[in-house]
Amino acid sequence: MPKASAHPDAALIARAVLRLSRRLRQARPKSEVTVSGLGLLNALHREGPAPAVVLARAEQLQPQSLSRLIARLEADGLIARAPGETDRRTLILTITPEGRRALRREMEARRAWLDARIRETLEVEERVLLAEAAGLMLRVAGDDGA
């Protein structure tokens, strides 16, 4: 049985993060790209070309799921795959220009929704406080800001 949170606000913060995440997913434009596909595109955008096995670990995908996801993203022209230079058995994935455009559309829609909600519901001082809290949450998550 899990221990109760040592920090009294941990449950509230987790609830807020999960609810906001759900609302941002709902704000997605109609798209053929799945949430897992977006995760893979985002990882390739951030990190550059990478072996499929490394992406599977990073995105916590099972090999069967990864194979289907790669096939779908490649068929849609969102990624390209090629054998590795040193080990031809290694599959290297790269995001394509169309993949970058699809990712940008998704992120712009989410940001537009979030921007509108922030402006509709928060005062200027609260917006500043929210931005500060976001920076702290990134630090807690181990995000180096890159």
> Quick one: pLDDT band at residue 2, thresholds 50, 70, 90?
low
Q: How far apart are CA 116 and CA 110, in angstroms?
A: 10
> Residue 51 pLDDT more than 80?
yes
Query: For the chain, first and last CA: distance in Å?
Result: 36
Do residues 92 and 84 touch, judged by C-beta distance below 8 A? yes
- The answer for residues whose C-beta is within 8 angstroms of residue 138's C-beta and 6 or more apart is 145
Average pLDDT score, the chain:
87
pLDDT the model gives residue 103? 94
Quick one: average pLDDT of 31-53? 88
Q: How far apart are CA 143 and CA 146, in angstroms?
A: 7
pLDDT the model gives residue 86? 78
- The answer for residues whose C-beta is within 8 angstroms of residue 122's C-beta and 6 or more apart is 130
Q: What is the pLDDT of residues 76-133, one digit of tens each?
A: 999 999 887 777 777 899 999 999 999 999 999 989 999 999 999 999 999 999 999 9
Residue 40's Cβ-side half-sphere holds a number of Cα atoms within 13 Å equal to 36
pLDDT the model gives residue 30? 81
Do residues 15 and 48 touch, judged by C-beta distance below 8 A? no
Q: What is the pLDDT of residues 63-79, one digit of tens each?
A: 778 888 999 999 999 99
Q: How far apart are CA 7 and CA 54, in angstroms?
A: 34
pLDDT the model gives residue 144? 66
The CATH number of domain 31-140, selected from 3.30.1120.10, 1.20.120.50, 3.40.50.720, 1.10.10.10: 1.10.10.10
Domain residue spans of the chain: 31-140
